Amino acid sequence: MTLTLSPLITKVHFPPISEVKRWLAERPDDGQELIDLCQAVPDYAPAQELTEHLSALLADPLMSKYSPDEGLPEVREALCGYYHRKYGALISPANLCLTIGASQAFWLAIVTLCRAGDEVVVQAPYYFDHPMALDILGIRGIYAPFVEAQGGLPSVATIERLITGKTRAILVVSPSNPTGAITPPTVIHELLELAKKHGIALILDETYNEFIPGGSRPHDLFGDPSWGGHFVHIASFGKTYALTGYRAGLLAASENFIHHALKAQDTMAVCQPRITQHAVKFGVEQLDGWVAANRDMMGRRHDLFRAEFLKPGNKFQLVASGAFFAWVRHPFIGCSGRQVAKRLVDEAALLSLPGEVFGQDLEGYLRLAFGNIREEAIPEAVRRFRKMAA
């Protein structure tokens, strides 16, 4: 006799990256070196001075202990300095909770805001972990459709039409995962005003905020003294400092919101690991120049990728790109994104993600994470796409 599982979790699709990486075991050995455009992980190591700093801390027995649920006071104080530089933020340590990656920050936000049966308006294409979490919790995602002509940027008017009496939040990711598109600050401001109008939250996932070209300020929402009334912010320092395995996330919201979120934090993770917190503190205090250099490098990769991909004769169409990602339409009519992505693995040794894992009716697209690929490999990667569709 087997256990009966929750019907909510059994209906949720398997993690897409795990699914796609399983294809590698079935791939024929044709001598081609794999080019991985699948998972959005910086391909470079953390800063050497950061790893040396952490090495010196490991002998301290305190590193093995719990911290306060929300994080060490000195780390949150350092983060306030970072947010003041980055956003002009009027923010205090009481507005911050350090989390096990941005994914846990999202869970904290949702369980603090919503109960089963509530609705969240989500801009598509979406980051697949978000609807997976909503479905597991019995919260209904209402999806603002992807409009190719708009490059996937949110339409405030469309989102407003989707708001009902059950809506608790609007969810936007900027820069977008999967398209790379950067929502303009004016649109982000309009979305917050819309949230205020309807008495709901704007949840803004800014995992890739340090990869906006030129280091431009993503928005000015934090500059309003009352920003926490309807704004919930999610961040990932794992991408910023190449520490994805350290699970360095953050939730920023009103002091009252954080107070109640800590109830879930205590039952879910207790606290972010101390070593991760010290890594984040060192990063925000010492590594602005290192982050800027990597931002510029990613910008060069993006520009080279676009230039190569847009040369005449490529039947794959570049629809949107920026930050870490490119969103492309494949040329194989009648084929799903999964079918095309599997063919790319088997025939071209190219690993990517199918569009349908990012939203309904997106089988015609693929997500490419060029943040994983060095500049010298980009022409060869694009050559394989061209050959595949020749």
Grouping H, G, I as helix, E, B as strand and the rest as coil, residue 260 is helix
Cα(82)–Cα(125) distance, integer angstroms: 30
DSSP state of 97: E
Residue 355 has pLDDT above 90, yes or no: yes
By the 8 A CB rule, do 359 and 143 touch? yes
How far apart are the C-alpha atoms of 276 and 298, rounded to whole Å? 24
- Sign of CA pseudo-dihedral 174, 180, 185, 191: negative
Mean pLDDT over 347-354 rounds to 93
* DSSP, res 46: P
What is the predicted pLDDT for the residue at 24? Answer: 84
pLDDT digits (tens, 9 = 90+) for 96-121: 999 999 999 999 999 999 999 999 99
pLDDT, the chain, mean? 94
Asked if 185 and 219 count as a contact pair (C-beta separation under 8 A), the reply is yes
> What stretch of H or E contains 142?
strand 140-144
pLDDT digits 0-9 by tens, 7-34: 899 998 888 888 888 888 888 787 788 8
pLDDT band of 371, cuts 50, 70, 90 = confident
pLDDT tens digit sequence for 28-54: 787 788 899 988 888 899 999 999 999
CB atoms within 10 A of CB 36: 18
pLDDT for residue 32? 83
pLDDT digits (tens, 9 = 90+) for 63-99: 999 999 999 999 999 999 999 999 999 999 999 999 9
User: What angle do the packed helices 101-113 and 129-136 form, to 10 degrees?
Assistant: 40
Which pLDDT does position 13 carry in this prediction?
A: 86
In one letter, which amino acid is 39?
Q
Residue spans of alpha helices (H) in 167-206: 185-198
pLDDT classification of 209: cutoffs 50, 70, 90:
very high
Question: Which domains are present in the chain?
Answer: 7-45+290-388 (3.90.1150.10), 48-287 (3.40.640.10)
Q: How far apart are CA 84 and CA 86, in angstroms?
A: 6
Cα torsion at 95, 79, 186, 238 (round to 10°)?
-110
At 122, give phi and psi (nearest 5°): -120, 130
Whole-number pLDDT of residue 389 = 83
Rounded to an integer, what distance in angstroms lies between the CA atom of residue 142 and that of residue 94? 31
3-class DSSP state for residue 92? coil
